[in-house]
Amino acid sequence: MAVLEIKTYPDKILKEKTAPVTEFDEALQKLIDDMIETMYSAFGVGLAANQVGEPKRVLVIDVSSKEAAIPLIVLINPEIVSMEGAMENEEGCLSLPGYTTVVKRAEKVKVAGLDRKGAPIEIEGGGLLSRALQHEIDHLNGKLLIDRIGRIKRELFKRRHKKAAAAGK
């Protein structure tokens, strides 16, 4: 297994909608294993394939550090089937290092997709799992955390980012 480079804002791949997976081959299994390794080494709770430069509809999530009863999740071609309720909570993103903001998301979601072998699965979750599923599926749809905040906050983020980049940070 290898730790992959996590793409950060403003990398263009983060804004692209990912392509559905059609082949469940060795290359896909290696990508999944590498994504899991990368997520753990970055101390993240989720990672989407485009965050490591692969424009495929693949995500991995592990919220067991906060919600012990939930095992590692690998989802291929995930789609949100239903959402209910609303919650606001602080969120960060491996592709926006050092940045957190409060985001409103559905309290509970049901997601349908395929497991790493191509078998259909459905996952229902609330709390952190719901938030992680929505966040990673946003990535697969080319949407970043900063696309979910108000225009003024987003402009402030972009200005700060530009300033930090110019200062070489």
Residue 81, in any domain of the structure: yes
Residue 4, in any domain of the structure: no
Domain enclosing residue 77, as ranges: 12-166
Q: Are 60 and 35 in contact (CB under 8 A)?
A: yes
Q: What is the CATH number of the domain that holds 49?
A: 3.90.45.10
Q: What is the pTM of this model?
A: 0.95
Q: How many domains does the chain have?
A: 1
Residue 1, in any domain of the structure: no
Q: What is the pLDDT along the chain (169 residues), one digit of tens a residue?
A: 899 999 999 999 999 999 999 999 999 999 999 999 999 999 999 999 999 999 999 999 999 888 778 899 999 999 999 999 999 999 999 999 999 999 999 999 999 999 999 999 999 999 999 999 999 999 999 999 999 999 999 999 999 889 988 887 6
Residue 82, in any domain of the structure: yes
Rama region for 142: left / alpha / beta (φ>0; ψ in -120 to 50; rest): left
Q: Which residues are catalytic?
A: 136
